[in-house]
Amino acid sequence: MSIEDPYELLSKWFEAKEYLVVGKSVTRSDSIEKAIGKARFLEDYYEPGRMLFVKQLLSTEPHAIIESIDYSDALKLTNIVGVFTAKNIPGINNVGYALPDQPLLAEGKVRYHGEPIALIASWDIDDAFKALEMIRVKYKRLTPIYDPLEAMERKDILIHDEQGSNIAFTTKVRKGDIERGFSESSTIVKNTYKTHHQEHAYLETEAALAIPDIQGRINIISCAQYPHLAQRIVSKVLGIPASNIRIITPYIGGAFGGKDDEGPLVAAKAALVAYLTGKPAFLIYSREESIRIHPKREATIIEYTSGVDDNGYLKAIKVKIIHDTGAYTNRGPYILWRATMHSSGPYYVPNAWVDGYCVYTNKVPQGSFRGFGNPSIQFAVESQMDELAKKLGIDPIELRLKNLLRPGMDTITGQKLDHSVGVADLVDKLARKMEWSKVRRELEDWNKRSNRYKRGLGIGVAWHGISTSRGVPDWSNAYIKIERDGSVNVYTGIVEIGQGTPTTSYRQIVAEALGAPLEYINVVFGTTDAPDTGATHASRGTSIGAIGVLVAAAKIRERLNRLASDILKTNPENIVIRNGRVFDKISNREIRWEELIQEAYNRGVEVSATGYFYLPKGKFDDKIGQGFAYPAYSFVAVAVLVEIDTWTGKVRVLKAWPGLAAGKIINPTQVEGQIEGAIAQGIGYVLYEKLEFGSKGEILNADLTDYVIPTIQDVTLDVEKPVYVEDKYKYGPFGAKGVGEMAFIPLPAAIANAVSHALNKRVTTLPLTPENVLKLIGGL
Amino acid sequence: MFYVLPRFNYYRPNSLDEVLKLINELENYKILAGGTDLLIDMRIKRYTPRNIVDINRINELQYIREDNEYIRIGSLTRLQDIIESNIIREKLPLLYNAVYNMASWQIRNRATIGGNLCNASPAADTAPPLMVYNAKLVVSSINGSREISILDFFKGPRETDLRNNELLVEIKIPKPHIHGYSYRKIGRRNAFTLSIVAIATYVEIENNIFRDVRIALNSVAPKPVRAWSVEEYLKNKRIDREEIYKASELVVKDISPISDVRASADYRRKLSIILIRETLFEASKITG
Ligand SMILES: Cc1cc2nc3c(=O)[nH]c(=O)nc-3n(C[C@H](O)[C@H](O)[C@H](O)COP(=O)(O)OP(=O)(O)OC[C@H]3O[C@@H](n4cnc5c(N)ncnc54)[C@H](O)[C@@H]3O)c2cc1C
């Protein structure tokens, strides 16, 4: 018998001392295709005239009863096949992820300006647009609420009547005794922080193409970040079994969480039209529709009090987190959970009292976006740390090093972290390497000489729990089969959204575990033909998604080792398979990989396997606000140097020093790509981007003319090579933890701290647009 | 992307005469030059012209020429051709700077200088330099041609002095004397962005005295404007830091900014003052 137990297999490969391809900067298999423009994205599958073009009718009211929808005139247009509303949905018109509060198409009521109401199906585009103008919706207006603080108070205006309150969801953490903690504190800092929405602005807007096939199934080419979730949602909306729905994803032009929320809904809308008409149906969002419809990064208000004792040790925190979740909760409760669980930052805090509120307003919903509730709370935490350091008169790094979590300590939810806690090492290593104290001193001198321009250095340190919050089940899986010629197919539900997970780390992990040449490995990604792998979100594509890949490959490897030992007449432990060579390390007898696989087929050794792994977790007790939060944490620290033009208020980030404690780094180039991308996106969020809302709660800048994202000219900073602390996590593939979201998370904090340092004024509100900076200085 | 434009009749004349005849007869028409403003405006239904007159075949409107008195730019000249022209770079550096900072390479290869002026956006970036150069605009109709000073051309947001049957054919710029200059454009990011304020500053200096001062700004009023009060104050004064500080504050009399999604009126006023100061320092080569 070979070993098939996933725990044993994982720990065997975890112990690896040498690697063939893991840890190397292997080139992505999709890079050439993408560079020369051959890679196909969703829109490339649209054939005008041969499929229905679907156009959405959106609400122009923020809060209103729908009295009637009259589309009789639209139906008279020659190319219009149908107009579909909530009443045409054969299954369940409810697509809320966390709470059952959201319809696919508005039913009875609209709750935000931009909410989808109807789908127009047309053979040609012109008629679709004409029909849009001909549909008459009669509304009875209700009073809208846009301010979450007002929404919390009001009982007379309810955005969701069935909830009985505009507070959709609450969270809490309770640890120790904060009154005692604050009484032991000699220095207390209290501030209120505000953060704003962020639009994902992916290059490719949302789209889906649904094609009914001869077997009565519906195939959907989708941009969802989780094919199996899209399948579940479509199944629910259509009322047909999930097995009749097949999801495939082509290359996706960016997602950042936005297509985790919206992707399945786009698939469901296209599928609904295909199901009702029997024709292939293509739906694509225009840029304006994309910005108006899909959920945004959380806008928050955070009240934060923290206390330290004379020695600089944190004694207590009291935190109130308010998330403006907009018209629907979408993933708001999960986002709030994450913010709540992370509200101490990566520090040891003996006494904590945290309350979170997820509040409805008549605006675009809140949703998933790189960091998922964490960047805003880390901004508050890290601003507090700098203020405490300032009051204590000690260096910000020194204060952090005193309080950072170390192995064996427990978090604010009372969870003991026994291993894979490299954050203190990381901050220490980063500070030394970048010569933090020297740079800071030099800057302060520079500022004495400079009148108009001021420079500042700031750091943000953060943690990010890997996998879903609390005890929510999470697992990994994959299916691998070796073809007769020795080439390998790997099936995964993880998608390719630009990050390169299936096209790099998966190939590396399989090549490492099987010993097959890297170029033999083909990954079939983003499909429900693969076992449910979970979503490509939460930095889990490699960290969790690839556990299944490793387990499946390792199972086959055990079988191949036995087979090879039979052929080469040696023990399985002596078998080495390296880059297609199979040999006995004692006798050096050798066969080729192809021969080995041929023998497997001849002798009846199975060369296919699944790699199911269920992540062990604990329980979180909502009543006492304590318990298990996450199986492991990735840690990140980014220091930035900024320069401020005090005349115009313009902030420039000149340099960034990133550091990561994310376990084993499987592919350094890919990780650097994630870090640099996150820094650019973070600079955009903090310095440039801001949604503007009009008097109807409508987004005034729902286009890329006025929603300003940075160009290459705005991210001219130097990004230093990252510092890594490889604090391996025992269940991660080769000890890897998550990377994708990491560098974004501390960035608002780092920039705000640098600006505060330069100006000697505390930043509490984002974004730091030139106007807001001038206001902070008192120049406006 | 999938958008639709309102329906229209499309004309593509082959000569200037044909254009002038057509626009004399047609009602409810729009000229199509690069289309980088017009197509977007049609998509958002700001304009729904019944007729479109495409002038892209009129090659005789694409040129940059220099004679003794003037530099002449054909109205259909592409922005990219303007920044690639030695004449412009050497003789009209403010125009070079302004166009260099506009849009992107792709857009500049389509967009024309005539389109930028006739579109008459308050944020038109070729306006400030042309206004300090006192450019003249030559417009033609079947009845003949006339010249309009650029200072009289803009009437308000998207309104010009053009009559219904007139086409802008040439921008005629008197060759400037030796001068100091400085250009700044502040947008919401460093590139590929519309102005919050752009400013062109031109000074002629003799014996440390401002003989001539001309300053123009966009995006701070319903149309691009000259900073007459600042200019008047400084003319014939010695170059002096304090005087420049004082003068720059006067710009608030010349502008009337609004608040919109791009910036607040207060910020635009503040920036105007700062940029006038900064560009005057740079143009007169003194340090602030
Ligand atoms: C992505 C992008 C970025 C941009 N960035 C900038 C920027 O940085 N700064 C800036 O100022 N602008 C910018 N623009 C706006 C635009 O590109 C410029 O205004 C451009 O110069 C317009 O020229 P066009 O030839 O494309 O005009 P068109 O769109 O063809 O025409 C504009 C208007 O002028 C009229 N017209 C054109 N030619 C004539 C003529 N000869 N006689 C009479 N009427 C005429 C048309 O009927 C129309 O009303 C940008 C546009 C885009 C899409």
Q: Are B81 and B164 members of one domain? A: yes
Residue A1 has pLDDT above 70, yes or no: no
**Distance of residue B95 Cα from the nearest chain A Cα, in angstroms:** 21
| Domain with B242 in it | 180-284
| C-alpha span between A736 and A297 (Å, rounded) | 27
Class of domain A299-470+621-777: alpha beta
Taking the centre of ligand 1 as the mean of its atom positions, its distance from the CA of residue B8, in whole angstroms, is: 19
Taking the centre of ligand 1 as the mean of its atom positions, its distance from the CA of residue A40, in whole angstroms, is: 33
Helices (H) and strands (E) in chain A, counts: 21, 31
**Ligand 1 pocket, B97 CB below 6 A?**
no
Whether A6-35+475-614 and A299-470+621-777 share one fold: the answer is yes
Q: Are B238 and B269 members of one domain? A: yes
pLDDT tens track for A699-749: 999 999 999 999 999 999 999 999 999 999 999 999 999 999 999 999 999
For the ranges A267-281, A319-333, A466-480, the lowest mean pLDDT is seen at: A466-480
For residues B235, B240, B241 and B245, what is the CA-based torsion angle, rounded to 10 degrees? -30
Percent of chain A exceeding pLDDT 90 equals 98
pLDDT tens track for A651-698: 999 999 999 999 999 999 999 999 999 999 999 999 999 999 999 999
Q: Are B47 and B85 members of one domain? A: no
**Ligand 1 pocket, B38 CB below 6 A?**
yes
Q: Is A335 within 8 Å of A368 (Cβ atoms)?
A: yes
**Ligand 1 pocket, B103 CB below 6 A?**
yes
Residue from A609, A752, A715, A708 nearest A3 by CA: A609
pLDDT at A215: 83
pLDDT tens track for A84-98: 999 999 999 999 999
**Ligand 1 pocket, B218 CB below 6 A?**
no
Q: What ranges do the domains of chain A cover? A: 6-35+475-614, 42-142+206-284, 299-470+621-777
Q: Are B209 and B264 members of one domain? A: yes
| C-alpha span between A371 and B41 (Å, rounded) | 37
Q: Are B201 and B273 members of one domain? A: yes
Residue A588, Cβ density class (10 Å: 0-12 exposed, 13-18 middle, ≥19 buried): exposed
Q: Residues 6 or more apart from B52 whose CB is under 8 A from it?
A: B8, B9, B10, B11, B29, B30, B32
| C-alpha span between A723 and A661 (Å, rounded) | 8
Collect all residues of chain B within an 8 Å Cβ-Cβ radius of residue A714.
189-191
Q: Are B36 and B81 members of one domain? A: no
Match 């920039």 to its residue by tokens.
A751
Place domain A42-142+206-284 in its CATH homologous superfamily. Answer: Aldehyde oxidase/xanthine dehydrogenase, a/b hammerhead (3.90.1170.50)
Is the link from the previous residue into A710 a cis peptide, with omega within 30 of 0? no
Residue B287 has pLDDT above 80, yes or no: no
Query: What share of residues in chain B are helix, strand, coil (percent, to 5)?
Result: 35, 25, 40
In a domain, B3, yes or no: no
Q: How many CB atoms lie within 10 A of CB A616?
A: 10
> B3 and A452: CB-CB below 8 Å?
no
> A647 and B264: CB-CB below 8 Å?
no
pLDDT at A288: 97
Residue B252 has pLDDT above 90, yes or no: yes
Percent of chain A exceeding pLDDT 70 equals 100
Residue from A421, A415, A224, A187 nearest A312 by CA: A187
> B274 and A647: CB-CB below 8 Å?
yes
pLDDT tens track for B196-226: 999 999 999 999 999 999 999 999 999 999 9
In a domain, B168, yes or no: yes
User: End of a domain among B149, B174, B199?
Assistant: B174
Over residues A151-161, the mean pLDDT reads: 97
pLDDT at A3: 84
Task: Kindly give the number of the ligand 1 atom that is closest to the alpha carbon of B167.
Answer: 42
| C-alpha span between A770 and A132 (Å, rounded) | 40
pLDDT at A214: 83
Distances (CA, A) of A380 to A374, A612, A643, A682, A747: 10, 39, 22, 16, 12
Radius of gyration of chain A (CA): 27
| C-alpha span between B97 and B133 (Å, rounded) | 14
Q: Which of B4, B189, B262 sits opposite A711 (nearest CB)?
A: B189
- Strand A64-70 relative to strand A136-141, pairing: antiparallel
**Ligand 1 pocket, B186 CB below 6 A?**
no
User: End of a domain among B155, B174, B193?
Assistant: B174
| C-alpha span between A340 and A534 (Å, rounded) | 23
Nearest residue (by CA) to ligand 1, atom 13, is B103
The chain A residue lying nearest B274, using CA atoms, is: A647
Residue A156 has pLDDT above 70, yes or no: yes
pLDDT tens track for A396-408: 999 999 999 999 9
Q: Is A328 within 8 Å of A101 (Cβ atoms)?
A: yes
Residue A510 has pLDDT above 90, yes or no: yes
Taking the centre of ligand 1 as the mean of its atom positions, its distance from the CA of residue B159, in whole angstroms, is: 14
Percent of chain B exceeding pLDDT 90 equals 97
Residue B288 has pLDDT above 80, yes or no: no
| C-alpha span between A733 and A506 (Å, rounded) | 10
> A692 and B4: CB-CB below 8 Å?
no
CATH code of residue B111? 3.30.465.10
Residue of A53, A283, A711 to mutate for B, most B C-beta atoms under 10 A:
A711
Over residues A420-435, the mean pLDDT reads: 98
Q: How many domains does chain B have?
A: 3
Q: How many CB atoms lie within 10 A of CB A592?
A: 12
Structure tokens at B178: 């030796």
Collect all residues of chain A within an 8 Å Cβ-Cβ radius of residue B186.
648, 650
Taking the centre of ligand 1 as the mean of its atom positions, its distance from the CA of residue B90, in whole angstroms, is: 25
CATH code of residue B49? 3.30.43.10
Collect all residues of chain A within an 8 Å Cβ-Cβ radius of residue B191.
711-714
| Residue to mutate, B5, B30, B37, B81, ligand 1, most ligand atoms under 8 Å from C-beta | B37
Q: Are B170 and B185 members of one domain? A: no
pLDDT tens track for A251-289: 999 999 999 999 999 999 999 999 999 999 999 999 999
pLDDT tens track for A531-556: 999 999 999 999 999 999 999 999 99
| C-alpha span between A233 and A103 (Å, rounded) | 11
Name the band, by pLDDT with cuts 50, 70 and 90, for residue A616: very high
- The alpha carbon of B195 is separated from its chain's Cα centroid by a whole number of angstroms, namely 12
In a domain, B1, yes or no: no
| C-alpha span between B39 and B42 (Å, rounded) | 5
Structure tokens at A393: 């008169």
| C-alpha span between A279 and A121 (Å, rounded) | 10
Q: Are B189 and B239 members of one domain? A: yes
pLDDT at A258: 98
| C-alpha span between B34 and B36 (Å, rounded) | 5
User: End of a domain among B146, B174, B202?
Assistant: B174
**Distance of residue A779 Cα from the nearest chain B Cα, in angstroms:** 9
Name the band, by pLDDT with cuts 50, 70 and 90, for residue B234: very high
Taking the centre of ligand 1 as the mean of its atom positions, its distance from the CA of residue B125, in whole angstroms, is: 10
Residue A395 has pLDDT above 70, yes or no: yes
pLDDT at A23: 97
CATH number assigned to the domain with residue range A6-35+475-614, chosen from the 4 options 3.30.1330.10, 3.30.365.10, 3.40.720.10, 3.40.50.12240: 3.30.365.10
Residue of B188, B249, B281 to mutate for A, most A C-beta atoms under 10 A:
B188
Mean pLDDT of chain A: 97
Taking the centre of ligand 1 as the mean of its atom positions, its distance from the CA of residue B112, in whole angstroms, is: 6
pLDDT tens track for A16-75: 999 999 999 999 999 999 999 999 999 999 999 999 999 999 999 999 999 999 999 999
Residue from A645, A650, A758 nearest B288 by CA: A645
In a domain, B92, yes or no: yes
How much is the ipTM here?
0.95
